[in-house]
C-alpha cells in the first residue's frame, strides 16, 4: 500500500519542520517498514512509503524527533498517488507553479535509491509522477512564470525598500535556494556578498553572476558582514542557527533579513531595526500567486486525475506473468503462421504438422527460459519496468509503453 506522511507549511511551523528534517538521515531505521523515500525541503518534510502498516512508522518518527504526528497529513492508496503527483506538479507548493520541488524530489529519489530503500513500487510511482509533472507544465500555464520562495523573498525586499539598484546584500549559502536569490538580486542590480562554508562552491556560483559585483568569503567571516548591510538572505543546511544575538550589533539603519532555511539559520531574536522574514512569513505573497493561477490550477488538477487513473491502469497491466503469457502467445502465433506457410509452399507435409509444432514449442520454451528467469529475479527491483517496457517495445506486444528515457536512477551520470 502506498502511504504518504506529510508535514508541510499548512500543518507544521518552521521549528517543527526543522526538527523533522533530520529524518532524511535515518533510512536504515525506515527501510525496515518497506520501501521509503524521505523528502525535506523548506516547505515540507514528507515520507513516502510502500508498506503494510502505518502506526509503527508514526511511532518511529516521534521516537527519532520528539515530534507528535497527530497534525501530519496522511494519504493512503489512490489518495497517496494523487498527492505525490500534485506535489511533483507544484500544485501543493506554497508558491504554486514553482519548479524547484521536482528537482528536490528527484534528488531525494536518487538518495533513496542509493540507500537501497526503493524497489519496484516507489520507483515506478516516482517515474510516472515525474512524467505527470512534465505533462502539467507542458499542457498548462501553471509554470509559465516560474516563482519560488527565494524569488518571493527578493520581491518582498523590493516592496520594503523600493528600487533595489545600488544596494548590496549578504547571501549566506551557495545551494539551490541561494542561487535563485542571487539570480533575482542580479536582475535588480544588487551587488552580492556571498558567504559559504566552502570557497569552491561559492566560486562556482559567482561565475554564474555576471551583471553585478560578487565578493565571496568563507562562513567564518559572517561576524564581519552581518552588521554592515541592510539586506541579508540566508539558506544553509546547518543543523542549528548560524546567526545568534551575540553576533548582532545595534545600527541606526533598518535591516531586513530573510531566513529561507529549514531548520532556521537565524535564532529567535527581537532587536530594534531588524525585520526577520522566515519562510512562513512569505505566505501572503504565495496566496496572491495562487489567486492569479486559479484557472490553470483547475486545468492542472484535471490532468493529474487522468495521470493517476493511467498509473493505476499501468499497474494492473505491468505484472510479469501477463507479459510472459503475451510473449508466448506471440511466439505461438508466429510459429503457426510460419508452419502454415511452409505447408502451403510444400516445404512441409501436412502429416508432419504436429511434430513440427511440438519441436517449435520446445525451442521457444528453451529460448524464453533465461528471459523468464531474469524477469522473475528482478520482479521487485526498480529496473523491472524498464525490462518489461523493453520487451513490449521489441516484440510490439502492445502500445502501453513506459518512456524509460527519463528514469532518474537509470540515467545517473
- Catalytic residue numbers, as ranges: 42
C-beta of residue 157 within 8 angstroms of C-beta of residue 134: no
CA distances from 3 to 104, 197, 310, 409 (A): 19, 37, 19, 22
C-alpha cell at 404: 524509460
SS3 of the chain = CEEEEEEECCCCCHHHHHHHHHHHHCHHHHHHHEEEEEEECCCEEEEEEEECCCHHHHHHHHHHHCCCCCCCEEEEHHHHHHHHHHHHCCCCCCCCCCCHHHHHHHHHHHHHHHCCCCCHHHHHHHHHHHHHHHHHHHHCCCCCCCCCHHHHHHHHHHHHHCCCCCCEEEEECCCHHHHHHHHHHHHCCCEEEEEECCHHHHHHHHCCCCCCCEEEEEHHHHHHHCCCCCEEEECCCCCCCCECHHHCCCCCCCEEEEECCCCCCECCCCCCCEEEEEHHHHHHHHHHHHHHCHHHHHHHHHHHHHHHHHHHHHHHCCCHHHHHHHHHHHHHHHHHHHHHHHHHCCCCCHHHHHHHHHHHHHHHHHHCHHHHHHHHHCCCCCCHHHHHHHHHHHHCCCCCCCCHHHCCCCCCC
C-alpha cell at position 365: 520454451
Establish whether the linkage from the previous residue to 331 is cis, with ω within 30° of 0.
no
Amino acid at each position: 500500500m502506498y502511504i504518504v506522511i506529510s508535514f508541510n507549511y499548512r500543518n507544521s511551523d518552521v521549528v517543527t519542520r526543522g526538527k523533522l528534517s533530520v529524518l532524511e538521515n535515518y533510512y536504515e531505521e525506515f527501510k525496515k517498514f518497506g520501501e521509503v523515500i524521505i523528502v525535506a525541503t523548506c516547505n515540507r518534510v514528507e515520507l513516502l512509503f510502500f508498506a503494510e502498516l502505518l502506526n509503527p512508522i508514526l511511532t518511529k518518527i516521534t521516537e527519532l524527533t520528539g515530534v507528535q504526528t497527530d497534525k501530519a497529513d496522511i494519504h493512503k492508496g489512490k489518495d497517496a498517488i494523487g498527492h505525490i503527483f500534485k506535489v511533483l506538479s507544484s500544485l501543493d507548493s506554497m508558491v504554486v507553479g514553482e519548479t524547484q520541488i521536482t528537482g528536490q524530489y528527484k534528488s531525494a529519489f536518487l538518495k533513496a535509491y542509493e540507500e537501497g530503500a526503493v524497489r519496484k513500487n516507489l520507483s515506478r510511482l516516482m517515474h510516472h509522477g515525474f512524467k505527470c509533472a512534465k505533462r502539467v507544465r507542458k499542457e498548462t500555464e501553471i509554470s509559465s512564470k516560474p516563482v519560488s520562495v527565494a524569488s518571493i523573498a527578493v520581491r518582498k525586499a523590493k516592496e520594503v525598500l523600493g528600487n533595489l539598484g545600488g544596494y548590496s546584500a549578504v547571501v549566506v549559502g551557495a545551494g539551490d535556494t541561494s542561487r535563485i536569490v542571487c539570480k533575482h538580486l542580479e536582475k535588480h542590480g544588487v551587488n552580492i556578498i556571498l558567504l559559504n562554508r566552502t570557497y569552491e562552491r561559492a566560486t562556482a556560483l559567482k561565475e554564474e553572476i555576471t551583471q553585478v559585483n560578487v565578493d565571496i568569503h568563507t562562513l567564518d567571516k559572517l561576524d564581519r558582514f552581518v552588521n554592515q548591510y541592510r539586506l541579508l538572505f540566508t539558506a544553509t543546511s546547518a543543523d542549528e542557527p548560524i546567526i545568534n544575538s551575540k553576533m548582532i550589533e545595534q545600527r541606526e539603519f533598518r535591516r531586513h533579513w530573510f531566513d529561507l532555511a529549514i531548520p532556521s539559520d537565524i535564532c529567535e531574536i527581537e532587536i530594534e531595526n531588524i525585520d526577520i522574514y522566515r519562510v512562513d512569513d512569505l505566505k501572503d505573497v504565495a496566496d496572491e500567486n495562487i489567486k492569479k493561477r486559479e484557472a490553470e490550477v483547475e486545468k492542472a488538477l484535471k490532468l493529474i486525475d487522468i495521470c493517476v487513473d493511467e498509473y493505476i491502469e499501468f499497474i494492473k497491466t505491468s505484472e510479469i506473468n501477463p507479459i510472459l503469457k503475451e510473449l508466448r502467445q506471440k511466439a505461438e502465433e508466429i510459429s503457426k503462421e510460419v508452419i502454415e506457410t511452409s505447408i502451403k509452399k510444400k516445404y512441409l507435409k501436412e502429416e508432419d504438422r504436429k511434430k513440427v509444432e511440438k519441436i517449435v514449442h520446445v525451442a521457444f520454451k528453451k529460448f524464453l527460459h533465461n528471459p523468464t528467469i531474469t524477469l522473475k529475479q528482478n520482479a521487485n527491483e526498480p529496473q523491472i519496468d524498464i525490462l518489461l517496457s523493453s520487451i513490449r517495445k521489441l516484440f510490439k506486444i502492445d502500445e502501453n509503453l513506459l518512456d524509460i528515457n527519463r528514469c532518474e536512477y537509470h540515467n545517473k551520470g
